[in-house]
Amino acid sequence: MKLDHLAIIMDGNRRWARSNNLPSYEGHRKGAENLWEIINNIDEFNLKYLTVFVFSTENWKRSSKEISFLMKLLNQFLDQTISKIHEKNFKIRFIGDLLPFEEKIKNKINIINESTSKNDGEVITFALNYGGRLDIVSAINHILSNKKTINPINEDDFKKYTLNKDLPYPDLLIRTGGEMRLSNFLLWDLAYTELMFPLEMWPDFNKLKLKNCIEDYYKRIRKYGGDQ
């Protein structure tokens, strides 16, 4: 059993801030810093793919003040990413509906996509304004718009229209913060993914805790509905 693709729901930033008597934005800031700490260490775990839930389609429901801060933080995160893309051989990609974002954010995303598109190292996917239902509906609409594919299709054919069509399905999903739900993340992709829900809030989730999750993964037996 091999672990090639890790997916992460980075939950608990606001709760971490409250538990440390800090404003919520400090939790988000610390969470963004921690994301790079994890990314910079993934090569130690022989992972080929990392997909992280950065901003969901539902996150727009938060207060305008928090949304404003999150967009500012996203801008800063993209600037940091641009400054780091030549340090590693990562291929960085983005999935989700990017249309609602400001032009400066979309321009930075394009720079990162183009600058890393030919890299052959670990593939880092940031899910931005992403929803699993949106992904499925978008795939169906693409199929319906293509007259050649109106005939019945199988699961492999359907996957070709999803946003992660070029990636293998995740082997392991980690959601930090103790909440045990998928929150509309990679609904199609996670059908047979192993799930873990560590109690640590995302800002406290470090390399050692990731190592523990990976070791736990290798103790499991993936049956895929069979009896092996």
pLDDT tens for 174-227 read 999 999 999 999 999 999 999 999 999 999 999 999 999 999 999 998 877 766
Q: What is the pLDDT of residue 213?
A: 97
Q: Which residues contact 89 (CB under 8 A, 6 or more apart)?
A: 119, 120, 121, 122
> Mind telling me the catalytic residues?
11, 59
End-to-end CA distance of the chain: 13
The predicted model gives 40-63 an average pLDDT of 93
The token duo for 58 is: 């539902």
pLDDT digits (tens, 9 = 90+) for 104-119: 999 999 999 999 999 9
5-130+170-217 homologous superfamily:
Decaprenyl diphosphate synthase-like (3.40.1180.10)
Name the percent of the chain lying above pLDDT 90. Answer: 82
Collect contacts of 216-225 with beta carbons under 8 A, ≥24 apart: 217/3, 217/171, 217/172, 218/1, 218/3, 220/1, 220/194, 221/1, 222/1, 222/192, 222/194, 224/192, 225/192
Domain spans, the chain: 5-130+170-217
Q: Is the pLDDT of residue 127 over 80?
A: yes
3-class secondary-structure state, position 130: strand
Chain centroid, CA 130 distance in Å: 9
